[in-house]
Amino acid sequence: MATGIVSVGFHLIGQDVLSAILFVLAAALWVLLAADFVLRLVRERSRWEHEADTPPALTAVAATCVLGTRCSLAGWQWLAEALLVLAVVVWPGLLFVVVRHWKPKMPGAVFLVCVATQGLVVLGATLSAALRVHWLGYAAVVVFWFGLVLYVVAFTRFDPRQVCAGAGDHWVAGGALAISALAAAKLVLAGRAGDLWNSDVTGVLRDMCGVLLALDVAWYVVLAVAEVLEPRFTYDVRRWSTVFPMGMTAVAALSVATAVETSWLKGPGQVLLWIAFAAWVLVAVGAAGSVRSAGSLRSTGPR
């Protein structure tokens, strides 16, 4: 998710080489994780069922949609369509079991119910605009409002103490609003390409672009200040859930700028994108160090 959205962002600002490198890496990671997903389902069914009950399981849907969106931007509409179908098939089952196992005072991963749902909207609206398929746009706008409802419900389950104590996934509280803003922007663009909406619907969607992006930026500031006040420098795999919202905020700003024709947003969007890329590099270095440490422990352990 993090690698894919940063790739999308670089594509939007014309950094084609960086975008392509991250695109290939994101695709390779998706294939690797998809294979692991299937192997666990076949060989470790009980473990698979346990993990499917948790919010992080919905990253399977979100990551598929992010990769599909990047494929569409590359002109590979057939592959983007296949990934959308896969995401739509997997989404309802995972959403049901995740929500069924919700508890009070949950970490930021609880907002993945919104992220996964709005990921469907982003990919669906992108394909609607690219292929001039009107029904995709109509379906996407319905799912968009459902995604916002899921955000509100998830917020009631979120433990606010995670803002200062979370290991990285607390940033998804803002990232879910960022992808919602991106979804609204994609719907505006789909409507413009296919003449889908009347002026009233277009106006509402344009307003939602601004409202959702403003709320996302507010979360971004709060979370960034909390990181300064309560530094958490130790590597944790959940830090990838920090990079994704940072990248998504940048992409949302760039896309909203195009959708509502507000060019001044492009500058901040580019700045936020480079910040997200710097965070991506830091977390990637931390991940590599973690893998090396784990390998050293195995090699020096009892034989």
CB atoms near residue 268 (< 10 Å): 15
Average pLDDT for consecutive 10-residue bins of the chain (303 residues)? 96 96 96 86 77 86 96 96 96 93 92 97 97 95 98 96 93 97 97 93 96 97 95 89 96 97 95 97 91 61 52
pLDDT for res 300: 56
pLDDT for res 53: 80
Written as one string, the DSSP assignment of 228-288 is HHS---S--GGGHHHHHHHHHHHHHHHHHHHHTT-GGGHHHHHHHHHHHHHHHHHHHHHHH
CB atoms near residue 138 (< 10 Å): 15
CA 159 from centroid of its chain's CA atoms: 20
CA 145 from centroid of its chain's CA atoms: 17
Number of H helices, E strands in the chain: 12, 0
9-46 burial code (b ≥16 CB/10 A, e <16): bbbbbebeeebeebbeebbebbeeeeeeeeebeeeeee
pLDDT for res 298: 57
Distance between CA atoms of 141 and 188, rounded to whole angstroms? 10
pLDDT for res 11: 97
The answer to whether the beta carbons of residues 266 and 257 sit under 8 Å apart is yes
Distance between CA atoms of 137 and 205, rounded to whole angstroms? 13
The answer to whether the beta carbons of residues 95 and 110 sit under 8 Å apart is no
The answer to whether the beta carbons of residues 251 and 12 sit under 8 Å apart is yes
Q: Whole-structure pTM over 0.85, yes or no?
A: yes
pLDDT for res 218: 97
CA angle 46, 64, 193 (to 5 degrees): 150
